[in-house]
Chain A
Amino acid sequence: MSNKYIGQSVRRTEDKRYITGKGRYTDDIKLVGMTHASFVRSPYAHARVISIDLSAAQNMPGVVAIFTGDDIKATGIVGVPTGWQVNFKNGDTMKEPPHPLLIATGSTSKHIGDPVAVVIAETYAAAVDASEAVEVEWEELDAVTDPFKAAQEGAALVHADAPGNLAFDWELGNPLSEVDEAIAQSAHVTSLEFVNQRMIPNAIEPRAYIGHYEEHIDKYTLYTSTQNPHLIRLLMCAFVLGLPEHKVRVLGPDVGGGFGSKIFHYTEEALVTWASKQINRPIKWTETRSEAFMLDAHGRDHVTKAEMGFDADGNVQALRIKTYANLGAYLSTFAPAVPTYLHGTLLQGLYTTPKIHIDLCGMFTHTVAVDAYRGAGRPEATYLLERLMDLAALEMGKDPVQLRKQNFIPAFNGVSEPGYQTQVALQYDSGNYQGVLDRGVEMLGYENFRQMQREAAQNGKLLGVGFSTYVEACGIAPSAVVGALGARAGLYESAQVRVQPTGKVSVYSGSHSHGQGHETTFAQVVADKLGIPMEDVDIIHGDSDAVAFGMGTYGSRSLAVGGSAIVKSIEKVLEKGAKIAAHKLECAEGDLEYAEGKWTVKGTDQSVSFGDVALTAYVPHVYPQGLEPGLDFSSFYDPANFTYPFGCHIAVVEVDTETGKVTLKRFIAVDDVGNVVNPMIVDGQIHGGLAQGIGQALLEGAIYDENGQLINGSYMDYAMPRADDLPMFELDRQETPCPHNPLGVKGAGEAGCIGSTPAVVNAVIDALWSGGHPVKDIRMPLTPERVWRAMQS
């Protein structure tokens, strides 16, 4: 069937409400009788609650109720769980201390902002006033915030039952002895000790929740700024509050960005839901930006030692990694999976490295939870590999492009040629790595660059180029595989295609759009597959009462998994439609072909339209015997494998030798995300990812002091990229179809963030070497001060 919409940059249908101010985010929603919540939070990273005095607060105007950790403890509610289990090397189950909704008297806060009480009042201002009047007596205790320091003897302990602050230790790859031997026999070993710093996601919409219990129907409704309403319902009902799922509706209305931080089930979601029943009124809580900095799960935060061994010709022989990964104080929903199964499994990169071993410690610290942030583990793996690659080229006097090429896994399409089995569990489905590198180098004009660089250095300016070639695993994920890896849920997706009697189509998707444009992209797919106008298709998502089930949107999975579920349902619609059409046309089903919205008897002009068949399905007066009326199908799609986007990112920087200021002159990204349904939206996804990856390299990073205070917890202090920090991006694409899903798509949400960070840092290192400063590493973010200091050493 020819495509009218797929492959076109169709302008987004959802835009109209956003550009006119009619978007409906959770904080925009007002319910009759709605109250407002404000939390009393720990001012210390680690402190014991000695006593809580509510007497002053309770008498403040407008106060409806105050609940403390003691109230929660009395109900038997233990706290929010994690969704993944990772085992110790010796097979023991990881440490999983409870994450209470509120801290009870006698217990300890474990990070800044850990809540002890919630005040509910008639207005937000009254709630805040009263929460400030709650008197808590604290006993401050020692804290530890750095994952490496947390592992040292004598470090403050986060949980009494997690000795050494170790949640788990974990390894993957070839036996360590084999890797040790390969490293020992290498002609050259490039080694790097570095920190992949802690990032704060900063979706511009702060988290917001409304809990609403209605006694007369015995039903709870939770409005939540989430990436996955059904997952929240499942976790909250089954594992936190013990509520019957059919009596709980979870809505994710318009959501203002997520980047991972809105995947997780947060304590406040459960608390407003529970408390709404206690006061029999709706409760809204919207966090402040200060709370967002303190409490939205952070990302990255690895302390790593990496060594890559090469033979005399520059062929990679081995990779040995030791990492301390910060998990924060409590295990968030995906947290155990991020440094392990989303990071360790990517250490093959695009190279034929025969021996790989990673040893990793998942560490508790007195900091907020660390969990998936755009890329989730894959940026950390890519950073490590690509920094090593460019540094090795500098150290060995080789060209970084040639060094990559000689070590690339040769191209394979995954259809007539098999997938590539890595040393670290995954089997890549398809790849053509040299294609994207060649295109990137061509766009750069590399042959002239080194000459320009030499001339610039002679004129007192330092120019640098940095390369990064990446492969990632997304479209998560085959349920059986993730189950074997410790996931406590499947990672399929559901979709229902409901053809209305007039031939209009309502699609119910378990994916959730919070900026990705599903209402457009999914409609393009449906319209083309059915041969009907896009205007006849409506995409419905974000409501657990409307959509049968859903695992939500993260891990660049919506089109690869959610879109495939839609395609499955469409196939069922067309299969049944053909039966009805054959009956109407008095022919055999096999004589029909479907195109452009109608079934036609092959070789004739006799046909029946999609709309006619839809009407017949609902008005089945003349109808195939034994066939059920209706045209409405649901499907679940469980992918056969992860998908494996790859690409080449190239940064060109200029470094001011006087001040150390880095200016990003050019950024080239050539990505292969498989087939593309809407190029405009895919480019937009790449742009956003690049900005976040470049932000990590040059600007951003959470800073805790030694007491666990977050000292840059505001936009005045945390440097998020602004419009004038970034150049126009230069993008191109290669399209190697994914061989195992019906659309041939891979996922584009995280690629930009995965590839870009090392390209920028490599460019700065390259610039410094060209000016006679052979430094191995500068700690991110590469502020002018750090770059300047590196040039002085």
Chain B
Amino acid sequence: MAKITVKVNGKVYSHEVEPRLLLAHYLREVLSLTGTHIGCDTSSCGSCTIHLDGQSVKSCSMLAVQADGCEITTIEGLAPSGSELHPLQEGFKECHGLQCGFCTTGMIMSAADFLQSNPDPSEEQIRHALEGNFCRCTGYHNIVKSVQWAAQKMKEDKAVTA
């Protein structure tokens, strides 16, 4: 067993974990943050995407011990403080960017990281950015629209605060 300390959604946790425990399982099983989903065993589907020190990461592709000392954001902690929802969460609801909801949390986490580095993306750039996340329900059409909606909202929000 190995001891790790992580900050998840603003809260610090310390646990003794098996060295082989995946970060995705740590979040789900130990912290009960079940919004991070597991859809495959080859780090291909993207359902388990979280932010590790501000970057999107597939949490099934790293061990919990590798996250020692890191700051993690999961879907449960994505909404900015004081807001109920992140603009992407709003966008997915507004544009029907989800159906069964299983890929949605990872999709939103990937898109959130992407919009940080590219706040004004083209359709092609959005599709390219999300190619690491599978959705079987939507055909991606409304996911692209959701991300476009969120990008616009974030731009407007920024203009208001500026």
Contacts and interface: CB of A to CB of B under 8 A. Distances in A.
A11 B93 contact: yes
Interface in B115-139: 123-124, 126-128, 130-131, 133-139
Contacts of A14: 101
A687 B142 contact: yes
Contact of A289 (B28, B39, B93, B105): B39
Nearest to B105: A21
Contacts of B100: 18, 203-205, 254-257, 514-515
B157 interface: no
Interface stretch (A189-197, A594-602, A713-721, A772-780): A713-721
B104 A290 contact: no
Contacts of B47: 204
Contacts of A715: 40, 42, 44-45, 134
B102 A720 contact: no
Contacts of A680: 96
Given A19-B108, A21-B76, A716-B42, A684 B99 contact: yes
A12 B140 contact: no
Interface in B63-115: 74-76, 79, 85, 89, 92-94, 96, 98-105, 108
Contact of B102 (A257, A288, A691): A257
Contacts of B103: 204, 256
Nearest to A687: B139
B23 interface: no
Residue from A19, A689, A728 whose CB has the most chain B CB atoms within 10 Å: A19
Please tell me the size bucket of the interface on A.
35 or more
B139 A688 contact: yes
Interface stretch (A22-30, A324-332, A453-461, A569-577): A22-30
Contacts of A18: 98, 100-101, 104-105
Given A125-B18, A256-B37, A204 B135 contact: yes
A15 interface: yes
A257 B99 contact: yes
A288 B40 CA distance: 7
B45 A289 contact: yes
A241 interface: no
Interface string A376-411: 000000000000000000000000000000000000
Contacts of A15: 92-93, 98, 101
Interface string A1-18: 000000001011011111
Interface centre among B47, B105, B127, B139 (most CB of A within 10 A): B139
Given A11-B93, A19-B85, A720 B136 contact: yes
Interface in A683-703: 683-684, 687-692
Interface string A722-764: 1110101100000000000000000000001000000000000
Contacts of A422: none
A352 interface: no
B21 to A, nearest CB: 8
Contact of B128 (A23, A255, A724): A724
B40 to A, nearest CB: 4
B36 interface: yes
Contacts of B143: 723
Given A289-B39, A515-B101, A19 B136 contact: no
Given A19-B108, A20-B89, A256-B102, A205 B37 contact: yes
A16 B89 CA distance: 8
Contacts of A125: 18, 20
A168 interface: no
Contact of A12 (B35, B37, B96, B135): B96
Contacts of A516: 99
A609 interface: no
A475 B156 CA distance: 44
A202 interface: yes
A723 B137 contact: no
How large, as a class, is the contact surface on chain B? 35 or more
| A contact patch SS | loop
A259 interface: yes
Nearest to B142: A684
A265 to B, nearest CB: 21
B3 interface: no
Nearest to B140: A723
Contacts of A681: 96
Nearest to A693: B139
Nearest to A717: B42
B41 interface: yes
A684 B96 contact: yes
A17 B139 CA distance: 21
B34 interface: yes
Nearest to B95: A680
B39, B101, B123, B130 pick with most chain A CB within 10 angstroms: B101
A552 interface: no
A728 B123 contact: yes
A720 B101 CA distance: 18
B155 interface: no
A252 interface: no
A206 B33 CA distance: 18
A791 to B, nearest CB: 27
A11 B37 CA distance: 24
Contact of B137 (A12, A22, A515, A724): A515
A790 B133 CA distance: 32
Contact of B140 (A16, A205, A691): A691
Contacts of A299: none
A517 interface: yes
Given A259-B136, A723-B143, A517 B99 contact: yes
B100 to A, nearest CB: 3
Contacts of A30: 32
Contacts of B101: 14-15, 17-19, 23, 254, 256, 515
Given A11-B94, A204-B136, A21 B45 contact: no
Interface string A192-222: 0000000000111110000000000000000
A373 B103 CA distance: 20
A585 to B, nearest CB: 42
B42 to A, nearest CB: 5
A21 B93 contact: no
Interface in A35-77: none
A722 B89 contact: no
Contact of A19 (B38, B89, B126, B137): B89
A27 B47 CA distance: 14
Contact of B33 (A12, A21, A290, A691): A21
Contacts of B124: 724
B99 to A, nearest CB: 4
A204 B39 contact: yes
A302 B1 CA distance: 52
A353 B14 CA distance: 72
Given A204-B103, A204-B136, A729-B141, 4 more contacts: A21-B74, A204-B137, A205-B102, A716-B44
11 contacts: A11-B93, A20-B79, A21-B74, A24-B34, A125-B18, A203-B102, A204-B47, A204-B137, A688-B138, A691-B140, A715-B134
Shortest 5 CB-CB contacts between residues of A and residues of B:
A21-B35, A18-B101, A256-B102, A691-B139, A515-B100
